[in-house]
Amino acid sequence: MMLRRTLVAFSFCLAAGACQAYPAFYDVLVKQYGFATDSAAAKAKCQVCHDGKPPKLNLFGKQVKPVLPEDYVLTAATLEKVASADADDDGVSNGDELKSGRLPAVKDAPSIPGPSTGAPEESQGELVPKHSFHPAMAHFPLALWAVAAFFELFGRYRKQKPYHDVAIANLGLGLVASIVTIGTGIAAMLRLGYWPLTANPMILHLALASGSTVLALGAWSQRKKEGLGFLLLLCLSAGSVLLAGHFGGDMVFGQ
């Protein structure tokens, strides 16, 4: 009787021990590699080694299993054994991926070879990307002012007044859009670390972009006057915003 009780108690201890031993694996990982709280590995927790529901193992877990010591206690030495292997075969070793908080069983996007973009990489998964949507916003004044200049030229060529009004409407919309574009531009500049101005295309971009806005404002002030002032300022504004876009594009997509 006594023996049976002891055995039952003993097997309970064993079971409890086993259940605790495996989840403790994650703590060993953290101790070894110290993941940042927002890293993929910190978020994945048990999924660093498990696929779906434990005990199903992922590619990395499958490498850990055979090198586990007989007592199934994960140690730093065990992790060392698989550190130089590359479970997901993405060219970065398990150890290096874990050191930077990435998942050794998940292929990371290969870094694209070729010319560097010059602009710092934007981090993925952020609600507001580092460029603060400036490259997207910048298309609005650019397109609107170019269209305005086109309609003004066309209207003068055809000698039809309504085209002049269309040009004014496009110019006005472009001015409204330019407020947002300038705002996002300043945010992008600060967040991407372009300030203080050191890069050449950045200085040109800033000068042309603010220049084009001043020219567009000038054109706006001339919209009701006769003469060539409106057309001239509009074309200059459209021209410099196109150039600004060109140098801005250089910063995003590289030369």
Contact residues for ligand HEC (CB under 6 A)?
18, 22-23, 25-26, 29, 45-46, 48-50, 54-55, 57, 61, 64-65, 68, 74
- Min dist. Cβ of residue 56 to ligand HEC (A): 9
Question: CB-wise, 50 or 131, nearer to ligand HEC?
Answer: 50
Burial class (CB in 10 A: 0-12, 13-18, 19+), 123: exposed
Question: CB-wise, 83 or 215, nearer to ligand HEC?
Answer: 83
What amino acid occupies position 155?
A: G
- Min dist. Cβ of residue 183 to ligand HEC (A): 45
| φ, ψ of residue 50 in degrees (nearest 5) | -105, 155
Question: CB-wise, 24 or 136, nearer to ligand HEC?
Answer: 24
Among candidate residues 112, 66, 113, 109, the one with its CA nearest the CA of residue 85: 66
Question: CB-wise, 69 or 183, nearer to ligand HEC?
Answer: 69
- Min dist. Cβ of residue 97 to ligand HEC (A): 13
Contacts with 129 (C-beta within 8 Å, 6 or more apart), sequence order: 122, 123
Question: CB-wise, 29 or 148, nearer to ligand HEC?
Answer: 29
Contacts with 153 (C-beta within 8 Å, 6 or more apart), sequence order: 231, 235
| DSSP designation for 47 | G
Question: CB-wise, 67 or 182, nearer to ligand HEC?
Answer: 67
- Min dist. Cβ of residue 87 to ligand HEC (A): 11
Which residue in this structure is represented by tokens 């947002």? 180
d(CA 216, CA 80): 63
- The token pair at 31 is 């101790």
- Min dist. Cβ of residue 83 to ligand HEC (A): 11
**Helix axes of 229-253 and 139-158: crossing angle, nearest 10 degrees:** 150
- Min dist. Cβ of residue 45 to ligand HEC (A): 5
